[in-house]
């Protein structure tokens, strides 16, 4: 039987580590002083097992006994009692479960491969944590609709407690009164149709500033990091809606890069397999240092929030309800509901949600869309034809044009099918033991919805690995999670609250960039769409491109 590639990689890596560390192994025995093993000191398992030292034999026996006890304890916890069986899955090792065979850099594709053998509802042992992987539309419907309330909680990781002040935000708060109030406040002030209509001038101003900056770079033929510029545009829109701040002038390049890197680093840490989540008894030790890293990153954003909140506290009540920004609104109404009052920590956690969730996900979706478009001349040509027909070459793109750009909308949908922003969604956690499709799912299991695999299921998608926007011209699929073969924003009670704003931000930016400029790859480079896996899916390499103005009227490149 051949060794699976991911298992071979693990063994190979382990052997390399052992080889590299051979010269620095320290050891101690009752007959020798502590020292450093030389290159010729070959202490192998056979020698250990055959040692004459009673202490070594006793310790080995105790360790083996403990391993066996722990293994059967974990197995006992995960087995259903007097009920349907657990879902099928790969056989786990004692203590560590399936962790040694999983690569956190390709977890979504590994889950997809394992699903072909074990089925669309599969169990995975992550240390002492039982995880369930959902990989088909039918199973997703069971979890996100049929048993929606039971699976309405998210599985809060250790690092998530740091960047959301103990999980006090919308993303990680348990489903209940407090969560419902947080979501209601955000939707009412940020995401309703009237609110988005009122904030259009903000989105337009920031998009025009991006076009002006691009045109200045185009004069020198300089390549532009599209991800950074899209980030700044969306970041400015969101922060202006939240507290009236913006990044402009010379800071646009330097501060933009710093902020994008900071937010990207935070989401990267959230996507790393943290052994503190799989072995909670040892979480206090933070062996991988992820909690420490997260604290360092969050501290920088925390200082920003503190300064903004301090200035806004003094302004509460001084503006009309129509004029106040999101932060002023939160500070004014935070104590209105006696059943679910908001502390200043709750307010700060909502700001963190908007900055991390509202900005990072929209930016990555925009980057993937631009990368797919500029690397496919036939797609770009169709978009240009549509833009010239709807907008014209003597005008700038307005949001009122977007509903008429059906092919561009199809491109956006196809981008989110191939590159869903959250490839495994945010992991859910069931509040009680449930039976799903005839299998027992024990309480507090970690639930992965493998949207990346569902979106590439050949049973539901023709040529699933090909970029074909036309497939969305012939159907009525949308972002609202009603059809479980297409879930870019999730479904059910935990579906993304900001779908309407994200759609406007992404489409408006992309349409404006493609209408105003041609895009060339820097010399010796080509456009890439390779993915980097994490909680948030990202482009592996920065998207660098040289803008070339395509409109003849210079006035169309002014703010």
Query: Do both 260 and 327 map to the same domain?
Result: yes
Query: Do both 437 and 346 map to the same domain?
Result: no
Query: Do both 109 and 121 map to the same domain?
Result: yes
In this structure, is residue 7 part of a structural domain? Answer: no
Note the pLDDT of residue 73: 55
Tens of pLDDT, residue by residue, the chain (559 residues)? 444 433 333 334 444 434 444 333 333 333 333 333 333 434 343 343 344 444 445 555 555 565 555 555 555 555 556 789 999 999 999 999 999 999 989 999 999 999 999 999 999 999 999 999 999 999 999 999 999 999 999 999 999 999 999 998 999 999 999 999 999 999 999 999 999 999 999 999 999 999 999 999 999 898 999 999 999 999 999 988 988 866 555 555 566 678 888 998 999 999 898 999 999 999 999 999 999 999 999 999 888 888 888 888 877 777 777 778 899 899 999 888 887 788 999 999 999 999 888 899 999 999 999 999 999 999 999 999 999 999 999 999 999 999 999 999 999 999 999 999 999 999 999 999 999 999 999 999 999 999 999 999 999 999 999 999 999 998 889 999 999 999 999 999 999 999 999 999 999 999 999 999 999 999 999 999 999 999 999 999 999 999 999 998 999 999 8
Query: Do both 296 and 422 map to the same domain?
Result: yes
In this structure, is residue 30 part of a structural domain? Answer: no
3-state secondary structure of 449: strand
In this structure, is residue 478 part of a structural domain? Answer: no
Q: What angle (nearest 5°) sits at the alpha carbon of residue 138, between those of residues 135 and 140?
A: 55
Note the pLDDT of residue 383: 98
In this structure, is residue 370 part of a structural domain? Answer: yes
The domain total for the chain is 2
Task: Tell if the pTM clears 0.75, that is, is over it.
Answer: yes
> In the structure encoding, which two tokens stand for residue 309, read together?
């909140």
Query: Do both 100 and 200 map to the same domain?
Result: no
186 is in an annotated binding site: no
Beta-carbon contacts of 21 under 8 Å, excluding residues fewer than 6 positions away, are none
Note the pLDDT of residue 18: 41
Which residues constitute the domain of residue 373? 164-426+494-557
DSSP run (H or E) holding 296: helix 290-313
User: What is the rounded distance in angstroms from the CA atom of residue 408 to the CA atom of residue 511?
Assistant: 8
Query: Do both 381 and 332 map to the same domain?
Result: yes
Query: Do both 303 and 451 map to the same domain?
Result: no
In this structure, is residue 148 part of a structural domain? Answer: yes
Query: Do both 365 and 441 map to the same domain?
Result: no
Query: Do both 178 and 290 map to the same domain?
Result: yes
In this structure, is residue 481 part of a structural domain? Answer: no
In this structure, is residue 98 part of a structural domain? Answer: yes
Phi and psi at residue 16, to the nearest 5°: -65, -40
Note the pLDDT of residue 33: 38
In this structure, is residue 40 part of a structural domain? Answer: no
Query: Do both 535 and 548 map to the same domain?
Result: yes
Neighbours of 445 (CB within 10 A): 25
Answer with the one of 448, 466, 484 that is the final residue of a domain: 466
Alpha carbon separation from 295 to 162, 174, 281, 345, 472 (Å, rounded)? 6, 23, 21, 16, 42
Query: Do both 450 and 504 map to the same domain?
Result: no
Sheet holding 544-549, edge to edge: 224-225, 544-549, 517-520
- Indicate the length of the chain as a whole number: 559
Identify the CATH number of the domain in which residue 371 sits: 1.10.630.10
3-state secondary structure of 63: helix
Query: Do both 223 and 319 map to the same domain?
Result: yes
User: What is the rounded distance in angstroms from the CA atom of residue 330 to the CA atom of residue 379?
Assistant: 43
Identify the CATH number of the domain in which residue 142 sits: 3.30.43.20
Residue with the two structure tokens 């200043």: 344
> In the structure encoding, which two tokens stand for residue 180, read together?
């419902």
> In the structure encoding, which two tokens stand for residue 545, read together?
């491109």
């Amino acid at each position: 039987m051949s060794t699976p590639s991911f298992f071979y990689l693990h063994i190979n890596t382990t052997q390399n580590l052992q080889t590299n560390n051979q010269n620095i192994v320290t050891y101690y025995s009752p007959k020798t002083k502590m020292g450093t093993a030389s290159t010729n000191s070959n202490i192998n398992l056979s020698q250990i097992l055959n040692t004459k030292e009673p202490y070594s034999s006793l310790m080995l026996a105790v360790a083996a006994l403990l391993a066996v006890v722990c293994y059967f304890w974990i197995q006992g916890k995960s087995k259903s009692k007097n009920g349907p069986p657990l879902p099928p899955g790969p056989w786990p090792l004692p203590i560590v479960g399936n962790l040694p065979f999983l690569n956190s850099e390709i977890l979504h594709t590994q889950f997809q491969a394992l699903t072909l053998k074990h089925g669309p509802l599969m169990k995975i042992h992550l240390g002492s944590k039982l995880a369930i992987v959902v990989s088909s539309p039918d199973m997703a419907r069971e979890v996100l609709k049929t048993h929606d309330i039971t699976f309405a909680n998210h599985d809060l990781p250790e690092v998530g407690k740091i960047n959301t002040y103990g999980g006090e935000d919308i993303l990680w708060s348990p489903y209940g009164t407090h969560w419902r109030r947080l979501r209601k406040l955000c939707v009412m002030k940020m995401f309703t149709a009237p609110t988005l209509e009122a904030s259009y001038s903000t989105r337009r101003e920031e998009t025009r500033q991006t076009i002006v900056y691009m045109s200045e770079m185009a004069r020198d033929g300089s390549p532009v990091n599209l991800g950074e510029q899209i980030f700044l545009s969306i970041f400015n829109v969101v922060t202006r809606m939240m507290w009236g701040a913006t990044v402009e002038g010379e800071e646009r390049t330097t501060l933009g890069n710093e902020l994008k890197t900071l937010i990207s680093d935070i989401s990267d840490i959230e996507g790393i397999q943290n052994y503190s989540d799989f072995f909670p008894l040892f979480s206090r030790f933070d062996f991988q240092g992820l909690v420490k890293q997260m604290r360092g990153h969050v501290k920088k954003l925390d200082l920003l929030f503190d300064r903004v909140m301090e200035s806004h506290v003094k302004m509460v009540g001084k503006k009309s309800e129509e004029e106040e920004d999101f932060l002023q609104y939160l500070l004014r109404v935070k104590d209105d509901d006696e059943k679910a009052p908001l502390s200043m920590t709750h307010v700060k956690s909502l700001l963190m949600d908007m900055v991390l969730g509202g900005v990072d996900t929209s930016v990555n979706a925009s980057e993937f869309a631009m990368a797919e478009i500029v690397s496919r001349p036939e797609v770009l040509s169709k978009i240009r034809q549509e833009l010239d027909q709807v907008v014209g070459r003597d005008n700038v793109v307005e949001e009122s044009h977007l509903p008429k750009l059906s092919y561009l909308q199809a491109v956006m949908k196809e981008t989110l099918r191939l590159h869903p922003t959250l490839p495994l969604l945010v992991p859910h956690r069931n509040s009680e033991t449930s039976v799903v499709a005839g299998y027992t799912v024990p309480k507090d299991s970690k639930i992965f919805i493998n949207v990346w695999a569902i979106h590439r299921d050949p049973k539901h998608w023709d040529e699933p690995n090909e970029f074909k926007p036309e497939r969305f011209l012939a159907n009525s699929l949308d972002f609202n999670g009603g059809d479980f073969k297409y879930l870019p924003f999730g479904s059910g009670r935990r579906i993304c609250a900001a779908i309407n704003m994200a759609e406007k931000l992404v489409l408006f930016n992309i349409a404006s960039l493609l209408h105003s400029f041609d895009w060339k790859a820097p010399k010796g480079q080509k456009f890439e769409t390779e993915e980097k896996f994490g909680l948030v899916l990202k482009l592996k390499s920065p998207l660098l491109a040289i803008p070339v103005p395509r409109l003849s009227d210079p006035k169309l490149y002014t703010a």
